Amino acid sequence: MFENLSDRLGGVFDRLTKQGALSEDDVRTALREVRVALLEADVSLPVARNFIKAVEKKATGAAVTKSVTPGQQVVKIVHDELIAVLKGDDEEPGTLRIDNAPAPILMVGLQGSGKTTTTAKLAKRLKERDRKKVLMASLDVNRPAAMEQLEILGKQIGVDTLPIVKGEDPVAIAKRAKTQASLGGYDVYMLDTAGRLHIDQDLIAQAAAVRDTVSPRETLLVVDGLTGQDAVNVAEEFDDKIGVSGVVLTRMDGDGRGGAALSMRAVTGKPIKFVGLGEKMDALETFEPDRVAGRILGMGDIVALVEKAQQTLEVEQAERMMKRFQKGQFNMNDLRMQLEQMMKMGGMEGMMSMMPGMGKMAKQMEGAGIDDSILRQQIALINSMTKKERANPQILQASRKKRIAKGAGLEVSDLNKLLKMQRQMGDMMKKMGKMGKGGMLKQAMS
Ligand code: GDP
């Protein structure tokens, strides 16, 4: 679905990754080409611009690893940024809030966008994958053919449709669907609203009236992915007028330029939940930012390589640290790093549980009243020291101690506890380091 963009980017990065050393100019030239590729794929200008800016910033600040080339590093950064642009909220891709039965799903969109087809595809998916009992209803009173189309699709996929009653208005149909869904024990009822060729007052008023009648759990906007930037504009307008919870991009099987997918989230703030990939009832896929980013770049090997190298870098750093500990060097910078690590790993308990043989130390620290709020205070104390003090905590005399404690909003006694801890941990690290190459800590860290 992103062939053209993928080809263009592939060319740029093939050249980049083949070069041994990269200058800033090389990177800038490559990113200029990426920007052109994005624009040609119909990604909106501000989105493309922000994208390049973010990549440039990260490329400048990236930690350098020996085992990968700068070009490979840039590929990884572009990959991560693609995911960031595509990613919706933190929900699992493709999840719908349909817990309280019967949950109403409102389907909106322009005529010809693929709304009716998508309603049926989604109903089939809910029935088969999520084991939901689904009822579909067409509210398109202007086009009897549309109502019949949904009925035919329903029969085809084995999903019930609300019987058609001539002369009813959309709100009345919605009410009937709601009642029928409750009485019939349905988990979900889907309302396929009328589409128009353009967004007009009538269409919006009608959709809004239906929305107010059923309070949908999800309002899904169906837009034609082939229309590129227009799809994004349509989404903005629908969201503004009716409010949508997610987007379904159809016709992504075509040779469209894919830009709509890339701009949608950044411009509208709404996640793409699904993509339509054909006319068949099975041709609906969850939109997964990670996979899509991978597909656009087509450089999975390089991404994996850089990820591996980053892990190696962390291990190398840990090993360097261990060597220093063995020599009895353990200053406040080391302690801060340990404390921060503990916070990241879920506090004291989380960390100790990962280290064999550390149970005793965990108990001691517990006895000393160490928990996460204390971790934070300790980090604040260390932050309040000068560089020199952090490297050589033994120089801390009364006046320095007072200043540091005050800076962290704490007492000198708190600082004394921290100093004691630093000494104890230093001793312990030294002892553990001396337990030979296969020391416990090292084992736990590798
Ligand atoms: P509606 O007017 O929005 O309800 O649009 P329809 O559901 O009737 O779809 C219009 C046409 O688009 C139909 O011929 C569908 O088969 C086709 N269509 C819908 N979704 C897709 C898709 O994802 N890919 C392709 N290739 N065709 C689609």
Pairing verdict, β 272-276 and 284-286? antiparallel
Taking each helix axis from N to C terminus, what angle separates 45-61 and 70-86, rounded to the nearest 10 degrees? Answer: 140
- Ranges assigned E (strand) in 70-128: 103-109
Question: What is the model's pTM?
Answer: 0.69
Place of tokens 């009364």: 398
Burial grade of 270 (CB within 10 A; 0-12, 13-18, 19 or more): buried
pLDDT in tens, 175-196: 999 999 999 999 999 999 988 7
What's the rounded Cα separation, in Å, for the pair 202 and 32?
44
Question: Looking at ligand 1, which residue's alpha carbon is closest to its atom 19?
Answer: 114
Find the length of the chain: 446
Annotate 278-332 with DSSP letters as a single string: SSSTT-EEE--HHHHHHHHH--HHHHHHHHHHHHHHHHHHHHHHHHHHHTT---H
Asked whether the predicted pLDDT for residue 368 surpasses 60, the reply is no
pLDDT at 439: 45
Task: Give residue ranges with CB within 6 A of ligand 1.
Answer: 109, 111-117, 195, 250-251, 253-254, 276-279, 283
**Beta carbons within 10 angstroms of residue 15's beta carbon:** 14
Q: Look at phi and psi of residue 251 and say left if phi exceeds 0, alpha if psi is from -120 to 50, else beta.
A: left
The band of 347, judged by pLDDT with boundaries at 50, 70 and 90, is: low
Q: For the chain, which domains are there? A: 3-89+298-302 (1.20.120.140), 103-287 (3.40.50.300), 327-445 (1.10.260.30)
The band of 105, judged by pLDDT with boundaries at 50, 70 and 90, is: very high
Sign of CA dihedral 323, 329, 333, 335: positive
Contact 113, 224 (CB under 8 A): yes
Q: Which residues pair with 191 in a beta bridge?
A: 106, 137
Distance 251 CA to ligand 1 centre (A): 7
What's the rounded Cα separation, in Å, for the pair 244 and 246?
6
Question: Looking at ligand 1, which residue's alpha carbon is closest to its atom 2?
Answer: 112
Distance 142 CA to ligand 1 centre (A): 18
Asked whether the predicted pLDDT for residue 156 surpasses 90, the reply is yes
What's the rounded Cα separation, in Å, for the pair 424 and 211?
64
Distance 340 CA to ligand 1 centre (A): 53
The band of 428, judged by pLDDT with boundaries at 50, 70 and 90, is: confident
Provide the 8-state DSSP code for 187. Answer: S
Contact 187, 101 (CB under 8 A): yes
What's the rounded Cα separation, in Å, for the pair 122 and 273?
11
φ and ψ at residue 161, rounded to 5 degrees = -120, 150
Q: Which residues are annotated as a binding site for GTP?
A: 109-116, 192-196, 250-253
Which contacts of 311-318 are long-range, i.e. CB under 8 A and separated by 24 or more positions? 312/65, 312/67, 313/63, 313/65, 315/445, 315/446, 318/445, 318/446
- Ranges assigned E (strand) in 83-178: 103-109, 134-138, 160-161
Burial grade of 49 (CB within 10 A; 0-12, 13-18, 19 or more): middle
Residue 228 Cα to chain centre, angstroms: 23
What's the rounded Cα separation, in Å, for the pair 194 and 314?
56
Ligand 1 atom closest to the CA of 283, numbered from 1 = 23
Distance 113 CA to ligand 1 centre (A): 6
Question: Looking at ligand 1, which residue's alpha carbon is closest to its atom 11?
Answer: 114
Region 252-267 average pLDDT? 79
φ and ψ at residue 72, rounded to 5 degrees = -65, -40
pLDDT at 19: 63
The band of 121, judged by pLDDT with boundaries at 50, 70 and 90, is: very high
pLDDT in tens, 76-103: 788 888 888 888 565 677 788 888 889 9
What's the rounded Cα separation, in Å, for the pair 381 and 422?
12
Provide the 8-state DSSP code for 66. Answer: T
pLDDT at 436: 52
pLDDT in tens, 51-60: 888 888 877 6
Provide the 8-state DSSP code for 62. Answer: P
